[in-house]
Amino acid sequence: GAGVSQSPRYKVTKRGQDVALRCDPISGHVSLYWYRQALGQGPEFLTYFNYEAQQDKSGLPNDRFSAERPEGSISTLTIQRTEQRDSAMYRCASSFGPDEQYFGPGTRLTVT
Amino acid sequence: GENVEQHPSTLSVQEGDSAVIKCTYSDSASNYFPWYKQELGKGPQLIIDIRSNVGEKKDQRIAVTLNKTAKHFSLHITETQPEDSAVYFCAASGSGGGADGLTFGKGTHLIIQP
């Protein structure tokens, strides 16, 4: 079946603009996770949802970052007033149960 | 919070030889330990995982061992092939008791020499 999909795959934005990154999880997967991956590093946890409920947002760097999953399926990660340090690969993963997270291809965000 | 250390950062082996990558973790409450393979330009791919009630798990040429007392776990790849070349990440989670964010190591770049 279809895996996790993310859009857009690439996003270039100017400093100060807001961006919205979308994740479409594997059908039927209860949990959805957002990570950020810098070049040459492992993914860094940002936040996750069980169904539509945001369970843990301890990894969000600051209050410019927010996420939602209003109907328990597609999720959006929003970054307000983007800064150059926000440039990274943003990855989404989903899982049916508490383990076995499957990752999407990511969105490469570049803030100029 | 959890901290995962991974070694080595780069590993070069001859095709057909074995490769071993090691990780340590800090949170004794962690109970789930997956390994991911990441090829250039792609997302991490889950290749094997182990839970804390098991000491070893094997899947064809890949095996993972876990020592909960010492808080370390290892990935073993036997009979390495060129397609095994990639970056491998270990991770840990589970101290929350349910679905949980993963804490990743910094990765090992595995190079298979022909």
Give the model confidence (pLDDT) of A34-64 as tens digits.
999 998 899 999 999 999 999 988 899 999 9
pLDDT (0 to 100) of residue B96: 53
How far apart, in whole angstroms, are the C-alpha atoms of residue B96 and residue A62? 22
Parts of chain A with a pLDDT under 70: 1
State the pLDDT at residue B98. Answer: 56
- Closest residue in chain B to residue A48, using alpha carbons only: B101
| CB contact A55 to B (< 8 Å) | yes
Q: Is A7 on the interface with B (CB under 8 A)?
A: no
Closest-approach residue (CA) in chain B for A92: B43
Name residue A82's amino acid: T
Contact A59 B98 (CB under 8 A): no
Interface test with chain A among B4, B9, B39, B104, by most A beta carbons within 10 Å? B104
Angstrom distance (rounded) from CA B91 to CA B48 = 11
Specify the length of chain B in residues: 114
A84 and B88 Cβ atoms separated by less than 8 Å: no
Give the C-alpha separation, B114 to B64, whole Å. Answer: 25
